[in-house]
């Protein structure tokens, strides 16, 4: 017997409809590309999103068409998430930091008909315009007066397109399983792979985000996604914030710490989301200026493992707790979030915050051995991580030769780790970065974490170097704090007290900066090349793919 409940589809547009009706006055504050702050409410966002949907329809966009988006986080870009979905189109979020070759590949592979882009990202298309096979025009997210001179043809002004468009434009009648967003992985080698999100997966992912075991947000919160919307859907924020009626603060393109800090304090941000490198830089900024973080109570971090010392300093010095999350482009946004239980002491709480956390309802995880058998949740049995659930990819977009899931339908993540008895996941490595010494795994994440805990080290990275006797050994690359003269011997002595003797790196090299990928991960491919002269085996080692 079927239930007798109303049959409403889970659509992205339902989220902005809700925010418009219930939290219409809640602010969206944006640092514009032009510089000044812009503020309006979710009511205005919804109205303009409907106008954009109408404008797209006038341009001939039909259900299922792809529209590219290359922009920093600000209100006009937010509107396009709802406007594109509202005409049944699929918003392909483009990472503007992609190499030209990958940019061209993804736009052509997605067959984007139009590209919405802001004045800051517009120039990336100028040199490649002739190679874009399906793009009919560029819609610049600006007022006409703010569109810079450009060699691009077929330019449309976003604000002009909205003028005269229907404020009451009815959303397209979509199925909740229809595609709504497309995002490509940011592999450092090989062609990027597309993940096609559905309305349903996006809504359920955002719902998971809002629950207390996720990020846990409500209308009293002010969220600042420093993570760009092109990185894993901005971790779900474009949908979760309006769903919760939370105030939204969008930092635009200005990623300098003083600018971000000004917004956090000036706009009373309570929760900010960014990759660990941003928080490491913010701590440097706070130490240098003696400033605090205003009303900021929590940060959410992920995309790479945050050093334990970072989590500790944020909490002890600034009263800011860390929710550490794990996810990947293939999992829409986060799957797990770390939260310590009430009543444990500081050290135990820090232990839990340092893990990648527990899955929220709607997703499942497991780690498996080399034969694919699930390993026990005992806090030590390490294997490959797999994931399954409402917002996990089942296959890559138009790439049937590259399976995303195993024979049982579980996502192959390429991450290595173990799960504790309490359900908290601990990642030890990316499969391709694993260091296998004498047949035993050494966790590069744990070593990096321990090294970054040294008071004179800002950031640390560990790569494998070939070794005659042990096959591979760890090699540490570190950035010293300004003015510090800490030596390799000092760092090794520090590590000797914190890790097993056989984990100690072969050597330590100091560098002024550790390279990062466009999504904030330590770029180990670049490091292997940079330090190849330390060991000739490195440049041609087997670990040169992402």
Binding site residues, ligand AMP, CB under 6 A: 185-186, 232, 302-305, 324-329, 356, 413-415, 427, 430, 519
Nearer to ligand AMP, 406 or 456 (CB): 406
**Is 441 one of the annotated active-site residues of the chain?**
yes
Whether 51 and 166 have beta carbons less than 8 Å apart is answered as yes
**Is 330 one of the annotated active-site residues of the chain?**
yes
Q: What does the radius of gyration of the chain's CA atoms come to, in whole angstroms?
A: 23
Q: How many CB atoms lie within 10 A of CB 538?
A: 21
Whether 19 and 13 have beta carbons less than 8 Å apart is answered as no
Q: At closest approach, how far in Å is the CB of 454 from ligand AMP?
A: 20
Nearer to ligand AMP, 10 or 427 (CB): 427
Nearer to ligand AMP, 92 or 480 (CB): 92
**Is 185 one of the annotated active-site residues of the chain?**
yes
Task: Give CA torsion, residues 108, 112, 113, 115, to 10 deg.
Answer: -110
- The angle subtended at Cα 81 by Cα 303 and Cα 219, nearest 5°, is 75
Alpha-carbon distance values, 118 to 31, 133, 139, 190, 194 (Å): 13, 21, 8, 28, 23
Q: At closest approach, how far in Å is the CB of 508 from ligand AMP?
A: 22
Q: At closest approach, how far in Å is the CB of 93 from ligand AMP?
A: 12
Nearer to ligand AMP, 414 or 515 (CB): 414
Nearer to ligand AMP, 174 or 367 (CB): 367
Nearer to ligand AMP, 49 or 405 (CB): 405
User: What is the C-alpha separation between 368 and 388, in angstroms, rounded?
Assistant: 13
Q: At closest approach, how far in Å is the CB of 142 from ligand AMP?
A: 28
Q: At closest approach, how far in Å is the CB of 468 from ligand AMP?
A: 30
Q: How many CB atoms lie within 10 A of CB 57?
A: 18
- The angle subtended at Cα 442 by Cα 437 and Cα 444, nearest 5°, is 125
Q: Which of 441, 487, 540, 545 is catalytic?
A: 441
Q: Which of 133, 436, 440, 540 is catalytic?
A: 436
Residue identified by tokens 């699929």 is 90
Alpha-carbon distance values, 353 to 319, 417, 508 (Å): 14, 16, 28
**Is 72 one of the annotated active-site residues of the chain?**
no
User: What is the C-alpha separation between 52 and 46, in angstroms, rounded?
Assistant: 10
Alpha-carbon distance values, 475 to 64, 454, 464, 535, 546 (Å): 48, 17, 6, 10, 19
Tokens standing for residue 358: 């527990």
Q: At closest approach, how far in Å is the CB of 297 from ligand AMP?
A: 20
Nearer to ligand AMP, 19 or 237 (CB): 237
User: What is the C-alpha separation between 139 and 118, in angstroms, rounded?
Assistant: 8
- 118: three-class secondary structure by DSSP: coil
Q: At closest approach, how far in Å is the CB of 386 from ligand AMP?
A: 12
Q: At closest approach, how far in Å is the CB of 414 from ligand AMP?
A: 6
Q: Which of 93, 117, 185, 270 is catalytic?
A: 185
DSSP letter for 352, please.
H
Tokens standing for residue 330: 């293939």
Length of the chain: 546
Nearer to ligand AMP, 53 or 237 (CB): 237
Which residues pair with residue 93 across a beta bridge?
A: 69, 183
Active site amino acids: 185, 330, 436, 441
């Amino acid at each position: 017997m079927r239930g007798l409940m109303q049959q409403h589809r889970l659509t992205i547009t339902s989220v902005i409809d809700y925010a418009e009706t219930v939290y219409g006055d809640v602010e969206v504050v944006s640092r514009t590309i032009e510089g000044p702050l812009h503020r309006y409410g979710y009511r205005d966002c919804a109205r303009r999103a409907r106008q954009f949907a109408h404008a797209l329809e006038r341009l001939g966009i039909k259900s299922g068409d792809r529209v590219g988006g290359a922009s920093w986080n600000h209100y006009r870009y937010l509107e396009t998430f709802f406007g594109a979905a509202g005409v049944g189109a699929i918003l392909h979020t483009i990472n503007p930091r992609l190499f030209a070759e990958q940019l061209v590949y993804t736009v052509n592979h997605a067959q984007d008909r139009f590209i919405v882009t802001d004045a800051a990202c517009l120039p990336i298309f100028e040199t490649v315009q002739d190679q874009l096979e399906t793009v009919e025009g560029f819609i610049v997210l600006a007022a006409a007066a703010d569109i810079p001179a450009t060699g691009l043809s077929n330019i449309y002004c976003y604000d002009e397109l909205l003028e005269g468009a229907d404020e009451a434009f009815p959303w397209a009648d979509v199925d909740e399983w229809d595609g709504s967003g497309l995002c490509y992985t940011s592999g450092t080698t090989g062609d990027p792979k597309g993940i096609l999100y559905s309305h349903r997966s996006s809504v359920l992912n955002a719902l998971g985000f809002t629950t207390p075991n996720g990020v846990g947000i409500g209308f009293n919160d002010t969220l600042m996604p420093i993570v760009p919307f092109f990185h894993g859907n901005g971790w779900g924020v474009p949908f979760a914030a309006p769903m919760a009626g939370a105030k939204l603060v969008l930092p635009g393109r200005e990623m300098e710490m003083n600018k971000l800090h000004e917004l956090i304090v000036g706009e009373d941000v309570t929760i900010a989301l960014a990759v660990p490198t941003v928080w490491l830089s913010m701590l440097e900024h706070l130490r240098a200026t003696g400033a605090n973080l205003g009303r900021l109570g929590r940060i959410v971090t992920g995309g790479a493992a945050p050093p334990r010392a970072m989590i500790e300093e944020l909490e002890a010095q600034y009263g800011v707790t860390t929710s550490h999350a794990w996810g990947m482009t293939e999992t829409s946004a986060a799957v797990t979030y770390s939260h310590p239980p009430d009543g444990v002491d500081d050290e135990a709480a820090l232990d839990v915050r340092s893990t990648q956390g527990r899955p929220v309802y709607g997703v499942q995880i497991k780690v498996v051995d080399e034969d694919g058998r699930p390993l026990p949740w005992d806090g030590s049995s390490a294997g490959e991580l797999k994931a399954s659930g409402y917002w996990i990819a089942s296959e890559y977009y138009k790439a049937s030769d590259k399976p995303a899931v195993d024979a049982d339908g579980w996502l192959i993540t390429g991450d290595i780790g173990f799960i504790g008895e309490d359900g908290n996941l601990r990642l030890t490595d990316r499969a391709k970065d694993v260091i296998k010494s004498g047949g035993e795994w050494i966790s590069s994440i744990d070593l990096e974490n321990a090294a970054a805990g040294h008071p004179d080290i800002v950031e640390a990275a560990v790569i494998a170097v070939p070794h005659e006797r042990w096959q591979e050994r760890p090699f540490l690359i570190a950035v010293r704090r300004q003015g510090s003269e800490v030596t390799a011997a000092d760092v090794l002595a520090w590590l000797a007290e914190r890790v097993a003797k056989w984990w100690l790196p072969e050597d330590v090299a100091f560098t002024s900066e550790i390279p990062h990928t466009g999504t904030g991960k330590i770029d180990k491919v670049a490091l292997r090349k940079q330090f190849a002269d330390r060991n000739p085996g490195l440049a041609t080692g087997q670990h040169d793919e992402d």
